[in-house]
Amino acid sequence: MLTINEHYLKLQASYLFSNIAKRVATFQEQNPERDIIKLGIGDVTRALPQACIEAFHSAIDEMANDSSFRGYGPEQGYDFLRTAIAANDFQTRGADISADEIFVSDGAKCDTGNIQELFSLDSKIAIPDPVYPVYLDSNVMAGRTGDFQDGRYQGVVYLDSTKENNYVPVLPSEKVDLIYLCFPNNPTGSTITKAQLKTWVDFAKESKALILFDAAYEAFIQDDSLPHSIYEIDGAREVAIEFRSFSKNAGFTGTRCAYTVVPKECMAYDSKGKEHSVHPLWNRRHCTKFNGVSYPVQKAAEAVYSESGKAQTDELVSYYLENATIVREAINDLGFDSVGGENSPYIWIQGNRDSWDFFDMLLNQAGVVCTPGAGFGKCGQGYIRISAFNSRDNVVEAMGKIKDALK
């Protein structure tokens, strides 16, 4: 008899987006004449940069000839892309990362979900609340948590991100082994300073722990004092893995390309306390379970680092950030407290009421769809997230409707 991995039964059904869809459908049925603007999702809306499109097309043409056709590529990614990433995203910022420490993949979602399988099941995990759900669910599936009780999984150390700590969690008071951090944050849009990140690096060093740093929204950082990479912090090479993506800076959400940085100094320990480098473990996993990102997609990603690619991705990021400013100003004018939207495409708004009540109010009174914060964790209760990934016209119209409705 085949038995299942019962840890899957502990998972909470992902009610968030299905519940949103149901409420929107009901509203539309009851109000067929009303238009709805969706500012809930974290998917980009604008086309790929022209530089990426040209590189994509020309790589496809190479695939059309026997002489330039390419089959399986290196699992870790082509050297042209790994070298461009190391030079542009790290070395220019004084972060000492080499091309062979970069593993190109088809998404930060897969990488942040898969990384936990390198570590023992009794590793203690520290996870932010509110959170991008992949970190938590992948650990539940693996069996690293207990049951779900009162809105939280047993055995997990939750890192509360609240107004009191400015949405940057404080160090846990107990020992942990794997620490998930994400800045600029999804869903709160908050950022972390170099000094704050240094306290996490020092803490990880002292506890022989590892930080899993998700920097998928790094391109949105405008404040020059903020770290774009954890490797801008002294000592991070020994205790941090970083996840990056081309999804949000260059619109690759449907094209799929991302990468994970595993410095060779990153260590973990066996049951006898012997030190092992994590780099060969991730390399082994990647080569066993993944067969590389397609050549045309990697060529398109490489074009992000060309002169025109940089200018075009900057323009895309600025466009979404201008949307975020419009949202932030409207929300502040209405007297709500908010965070994010300055170095991030997300605005996290304190509604002073239940998240779903706030959601229903915006839907019913303004015809605008947001994401209820409670869907991201217990600390998200009372908040909503508005995403700046939309057209300018939609954002302006949505904010006008919210203002008219709530004034």
Cβ distance to ligand PLP smaller for residue 101 or 242: 242
Number of Cβ within a 10 Å radius of residue 275 = 9
Residues lying near ligand PLP in the complex (CB under 6 A) are found at 42, 107-109, 112, 132, 182, 186, 214, 216, 245, 247, 253, 258
Facing residues of 178 across strands? Answer: 125, 210
CB of 261 to ligand PLP, least distance (A): 14
Cβ distance to ligand PLP smaller for residue 76 or 112: 112
Cβ distance to ligand PLP smaller for residue 299 or 385: 385
Q: Which residue is nearest to ligand PLP (CB)?
A: 107
CB of 76 to ligand PLP, least distance (A): 17
Give CA separation, 184 vs 145, 172, 227, in Å. 26, 20, 10
3-state SS class at 335: coil
CB of 293 to ligand PLP, least distance (A): 11
3-state SS class at 268: strand
The order of strands in the sheet holding 383-387 is 337-340, 346-350, 383-387, 371-372
d(CA 59, CA 196): 43
Which residue shows structure tokens 């000839």? Answer: 65
3-state SS class at 230: helix
From the list 77, 392, 42, the residue with the least C-alpha distance to 251 is 42
CB of 376 to ligand PLP, least distance (A): 10
CB of 229 to ligand PLP, least distance (A): 15
Cβ distance to ligand PLP smaller for residue 109 or 237: 109
Facing residues of 157 across strands? Answer: 126
d(CA 249, CA 320): 10
Structure tokens at 340: 């994010």
CB of 14 to ligand PLP, least distance (A): 14
Count how many residues are written for the chain: 407
CB of 303 to ligand PLP, least distance (A): 17
Cβ distance to ligand PLP smaller for residue 107 or 309: 107
CB of 272 to ligand PLP, least distance (A): 34
From the list 224, 182, 230, 229, the residue with the least C-alpha distance to 202 is 230
Q: What element of type H or E holds 384?
A: strand 383-387
Cβ distance to ligand PLP smaller for residue 367 or 372: 372
Cβ distance to ligand PLP smaller for residue 214 or 342: 214
Cβ distance to ligand PLP smaller for residue 236 or 258: 258
